[in-house]
Amino acid sequence: MTTPAAPQRHKVLIVDDDPGMVHLLARTLLDFAQLHFAVRGDDALAKLAQHKPDLLVVDAELPDLDGYAVIERMRENRDLDHTSVVMVTSHNDASHRQRAFAAGVLDFFTKPIDRDLIRMRVQQILSGEGMELIELDERPLPERRAAAPAVAPRTAPPAAARGEQPDFEPTMINWPTESPTARAQAAAEAAQAEPAALAAAAPAAAADAAPPIDVHAVTSELFERMSAILSQAEVLRERLPADAGADEVYPIQRIQEECAEVIQLLVTISGEG
């Protein structure tokens, strides 16, 4: 007799460029939803078309397109008619709330959001069924510490400065002497040769210079890789029996929690780029 597998979970796309908010949402929703992430509006539209999520959780303000523009363009794709929208924003005035509901948003949360409230509301939107709360590991991320500045090694002062006699006999070197005319001629030749040497070295230096890094492209690629890990965790969850115990669920849950930690760092890096 085969044991029934756990039901497939809904997909949620989280779009926000605030690392703290992304981390909070990820750790709040990852135990009952398959999560995908974006920090820019254009990237969100690409992931909407790729993953066709059941729910979009989007910030009203993004680095390029705002959340309202993302919703408007999303509605042009008929394949996303089923995608519901929840908006999060730092604006709590009535005009933003009215604009959000006019755009078809089902719920509107102002920052800082209540973790339990948004979890309950997202569950209602996705399935309408109450689900057991699984406590997640709440240990904070380690603080980043700036690298300590390099300290030059301390050197002892010369023996003469210490009032001591040196333990060696100085060697007298007889340097060849040049006439003032010869020195002036050598200086003139060096001045003429310097521009040509710099011009010859410039192409080589340009060739050796590393190409500029597109931070947003790199972080978007890493987001996809983290999403792939989360998708594999989903496969493992789906293979668990419906009555799986906590000891069977916990390893998968830890993978997802660690993904949430990395995703927070990626959002931070993206904002710094």
Q: At what angle do helices 19-29 and 115-126 cross, to 10 degrees?
A: 60
Say which residue the tokens 């011009």 belong to: 199
Domain ranges in the chain are 10-140+214-272
Q: Which pLDDT value is given to residue 109?
A: 92
What are the tokens at 146? 């700036």
| CB 5, CB 237: distance < 8 Å | no
Digit-by-digit pLDDT tens for the chain (273 residues) are 555 555 567 999 999 988 888 888 988 998 888 889 998 899 999 999 999 999 999 999 998 889 999 999 999 999 999 999 999 998 888 888 899 999 999 999 998 888 999 999 999 999 765 333 333 333 343 444 444 444 444 555 555 555 555 554 544 545 455 555 666 666 666 656 655 655 565 555 555 666 666 666 776 677 777 777 877 777 787 788 888 888 888 887 778 777 777 877 777 776 655
Cα–Cα distance measured from residue 46 to residue 254, given in angstroms and rounded to the nearest whole number: 28
CATH architecture of 10-140+214-272: 3-Layer(aba) Sandwich (3.40)
Beta strands 84-89 and 33-38, pairing class: unpaired
Beta bridge partners of 57: 14, 86
Residue 16: DSSP 8-state: -
Cα–Cα distance measured from residue 15 to residue 27, given in angstroms and rounded to the nearest whole number: 15
| CB 12, CB 118: distance < 8 Å | no
What are the tokens at 81? 């008619």
Say which residue the tokens 């496969």 belong to: 235
Q: What residues contact 42, with CB distance under 8 A and at least 6 apart?
A: 64, 65
Q: Which pLDDT value is given to residue 147?
A: 46
Beta bridge partners of 185: none
Say which residue the tokens 């990395």 belong to: 262
Q: Residue 55 is inside which H or E element, if any?
A: strand 55-59
Say which residue the tokens 């539209």 belong to: 45
User: Identity (one letter) of the amino acid at 50?
Assistant: Q
What are the tokens at 152? 């030059």
What are the tokens at 48? 């909407």
What are the tokens at 151? 């300290």
Cα–Cα distance measured from residue 21 to residue 16, given in angstroms and rounded to the nearest whole number: 7
Q: Which pLDDT value is given to residue 196?
A: 60
